[in-house]
Amino acid sequence: MTNPLLETTDLPQFSKINPADIQPAIEGIIESNKSNLDQLLQSTKQFTWNNFIAKIEKDEDKLSKAWSPVGHMNSVVNTSELRDAYNACLPILSKYATEFGQNESVYRAYKQIADSAEFKELDEGQQKTIEYALRDFHLSGVDLPSAKKEAFKEIKQELSSLSAKFEQNLLDATNSWNKNFADESALKGLPEFSIAMAKQAAAEREQEGYTITLEFPSYFAVITYADNRELRHEAYEAFCTRASDQGPDAGKWDNTEVIYNTLEKRLEAAKILGFNNHAEKSLATKMAENPQQVINFLNDLANHSTAKAKAEYAELEQFAQEEFGINTLEAWDVSYASEKLRQKKYAISQEDLRPYFPAPKVIQGLFTTVEKLFPIKIEQISDFDSWHKDVSFYQINDLSDNQIGRFYFDLYARQNKRGGAWMDECKKRFVSNSINQTPVAYLTCNFAPPVGDKPSLLTHNDVTTLFHEFGHGLHHMLTVIDHPSVSGINGVPWDAVELPSQFLENWCWNKETLDMISGHYESDEKLPNELFDKMLKAKNFQAAMQMVRQIEFALFDMRLHTEFTSDSTTQVEDILREVREQVAVMIPPAFNRFANSFSHIFAGGYSAGYYSYKWAEVLSADAFSKFEENGIFNQKTGEQFLTTFLQNGGSRDAMQMFIDFRGREPKIDALLRHSGLA
């Protein structure tokens, strides 16, 4: 029987992937790649792009395509067998990547090509591929003496396993907690849709009545709408103590030691390479120049936001006291009181909007929006292999009907699926000799699923999330760069990679767009003008509070990776407390263990990089202001955005691309104006 991971099919055969096949397939590809590389090094005297780098890229692409469906399924249809197979491969892949990065012969071959006359003849993408490769050889320890190389390799393997352990602990802790009620009166205050979702969750678990869980749509409904303060308290405590030494499952899947070991190993790796800390190492591949520049940037944003955030919080405290007799506003009261205050001030709630945003309508409207901005067409494909019945699949063509890219949508929350929303690569664009590969993306969200015969109904926040992830998808799929190391999102500095995603969110606030993406699930009525006006008025409700919350996460991340030393086991909580004292308007209770579920920085690639969201928001707001000047659907501006940012991937300098598009360096003004903080 053939191994589906080794078959050269156009798309992964998800339904045929057997966990027992995974490790043999990955090991087989790695052994083949190593053998091919040895042969290339021995048989080649004068290295060129075609006789060396093009062949390496082909082998690396084969490994990437085999591993991609495994990593993806581990996130979205997690089982113990799949998890074991995934974990078994992590150290093997890490060792292989580090050995390649430390291979002096390969480094010298790349260097020979960089120094040759041929280099000047190569296209911009090829030159960038070589430039980034040489940088990454140094960051992999190619210059190190052999003992340090070995130590570095072991650390990288350990870090890979720690990242997976963090994510698994969090998934297990999220799945473990649920609370069942015989009677819906216990859920008083929750919208009808959320109560129906709780009834469905109970049925899925073969329980009677209604069940709430820590999957985000369920938790969010409770913390925002439940009139029962004790229930909010209980759900909050379960959610913010996941994978920690506190809460209902205290110590069971505790990430505390995982965090400490991760920070220790990151520091060790950075010092071996000659950096003072992990933050410096992380920024070696980003737009920001050093940790202090990032901290200054975040402090500057905080200076523009803190006074307003404190005023917003004081207003909330007063409202909660007058309206509900809550003398001390607790963490589990904030979302609830905020939602009630929003309704009082603007007579609008996310739940008022939900009936107007059935998922099928929003998806079609999203496609129409990007088709008006860029010269593309999107069509659904019905015949494809999948990992779950809820998944859909689409193709993007240019206006001459040539395929540009394809993508999977997996939009609904369920058990054994990682929380959050993300875009990931299934296949990269790769054009070389006989290869003509178009990109394929996974687009994953955790929206409330369809209930009974009702479609999934999205909040406006959900709509914004969908646009955000699709922006990442377009960045991956609309690239025209042929070399996988710099096509799509590859090679793009981490603090610029959020630009297209945050940029696309702006269309969610435009009436013309909203008319395309809205339609009441019963009557198909567009979002009424009255609701749109209220939405706009409420757009920057508590914007300063949201701003300082993001600054809190980003400052904590940057300071932690700049200041961490391995001689204190309380340092994580100490730094978080100091950051909160500086910028937070509400200090959470002592049992809160935010860091233990902060997967962005401990399992998601954002370590010493969470600031990227705000950094890129400055870029995206400023880029969008050009559309505000020229017209929201101005095709010339849309085409310019496409050809400057989306098509070039990582083949050009990010700041230079921005200057080319805007005619100047970025300014903070547009972000402050969009946030109501100007």
Biggest alpha carbon–alpha carbon distance for the chain: 81
- DSSP conformational letter for 292: H
Q: Is the CB of residue 203 less than 8 Å from the CB of residue 228?
A: no
Separation between Cα atoms, residue 19 and residue 388, nearest integer Å: 16
Structural domains of the chain, ranges and CATH numbers in brackets: 14-171 (1.10.1370.40), 177-240 (no CATH), 256-347+543-610 (1.10.1370.10), 356-488 (3.40.390.10)
Among 297, 300, 303, 338, CA closest to 319 = 338
Separation between Cα atoms, residue 309 and residue 318, nearest integer Å: 14
Q: Is the CB of residue 395 less than 8 Å from the CB of residue 402?
A: no
Separation between Cα atoms, residue 87 and residue 278, nearest integer Å: 24
Task: Give the pLDDT of residue 366.
Answer: 98
Task: Give the pLDDT of residue 434.
Answer: 87
Q: Is the CB of residue 559 less than 8 Å from the CB of residue 566?
A: no
Tens digits of per-residue pLDDT, 272-281?
A: 999 999 999 9
Average pLDDT value for the chain? 96
Separation between Cα atoms, residue 339 and residue 461, nearest integer Å: 13
Separation between Cα atoms, residue 364 and residue 388, nearest integer Å: 21
Mean pLDDT by 10 residues, the chain (678 residues): 80 96 97 98 96 97 97 97 97 97 98 98 97 98 96 97 98 97 96 95 96 97 98 98 98 98 98 98 97 97 97 98 97 98 95 96 98 98 97 98 98 95 98 94 97 95 98 98 97 95 97 97 97 96 97 98 89 96 97 98 96 96 96 97 98 96 94 92
Burial 197-231 (b: 16+ CB within 10 A, else e): bbbbbbeeeeeeebbbbbbbbbbbbbbbbbebeeb
Q: Assign 493 to helix, strand or coil.
A: coil
Q: Is the CB of residue 513 less than 8 Å from the CB of residue 366?
A: no
Q: Is the CB of residue 468 less than 8 Å from the CB of residue 421?
A: yes
Task: Give the β-pairing of 392-398 and 403-412.
Answer: antiparallel
Among 432, 371, 373, 378, CA closest to 404 = 378
Partner residues linked to 378 by β-bridges: 396
Among 473, 241, 243, CA closest to 378 = 473
* Both tokens assigned to 394: 């689409």
Separation between Cα atoms, residue 562 and residue 280, nearest integer Å: 8
Among 471, 464, 481, 502, CA closest to 666 = 502
pTM: 0.95
Task: Give the pLDDT of residue 4.
Answer: 82
Phi-psi region of 524 (alpha: psi -120 to 50; beta: other; left: phi over 0): left
Partner residues linked to 213 by β-bridges: 178
Task: Give the pLDDT of residue 1.
Answer: 56
Task: Give the pLDDT of residue 330.
Answer: 98
Q: Give the catalytic positions in this structure.
A: 469
